[in-house]
Amino acid sequence: MTTRRFFVAFAIAAILLAGVVSYFAAGSPDGLNRVAEDHGLASAEKEHPTDGSPLADYGTKGVDNGALSGAVAGVLGVGIVLVVAGGLAFVVRRRRPSSA
């Protein structure tokens, strides 16, 4: 598999997971939240400062359809993380003058 084709396949896998498979994710609290509920710690949780942001809680503000709202938020998140982490890696990387 060429490097380019591999990278495209990897990106498509991430987009499908965030955009489609995420719809089927379990809605129950995760391990830490379950422990917090069981031990009466959950009430200590403060309201999140970015609760009102357009992508808060993996939904897209203004998109009423629940599945679509989650899919758009997930795919946007994949794109944002790809750009930020990929950009950081590009800045940090060793430069090899010989390579294209």
Partner 1 sequence: MHVPDGFLDAQTSLATGVVAAGAVAVALRGARRELDDRTAPMAGLVAAFVFAAQMLNFPVAVGTSGHLLGGTLAAVLVGPYTAVLCISVVLLVQSLMFADGGVTALGTNVTLMALVGVVVGWLVFRLVQAVLPRTVASVTPAAAIGAFVSVPAAALGFVGLYLVGGTVDLPTGALTVSMLGWHTLIGIGEAVITALTVGAVSAVRPDLVHGARHVLEARELVVRDGIEEQA
Judged by the rule CB under 8 A, the positions of this chain that interact with partner 1 are: 1-3, 5-7, 10-11, 13-15, 17-18, 21-22, 24-32, 34-36, 38-41, 43-46, 48-51, 53, 55-58, 73-74, 77-90, 92-96, 99-100
Backbone CA torsion sign across 62, 64, 65, 70: positive
Shortest CB 99 distance to partner 1, Å:
5
Q: Given the complex with partner 1, which of 65 and 84 has the nearer CB atom?
A: 84
CA distance 61 to 77: 14
Angle at 54 (CA atoms; ends 29, 44), nearest 5 degrees = 40
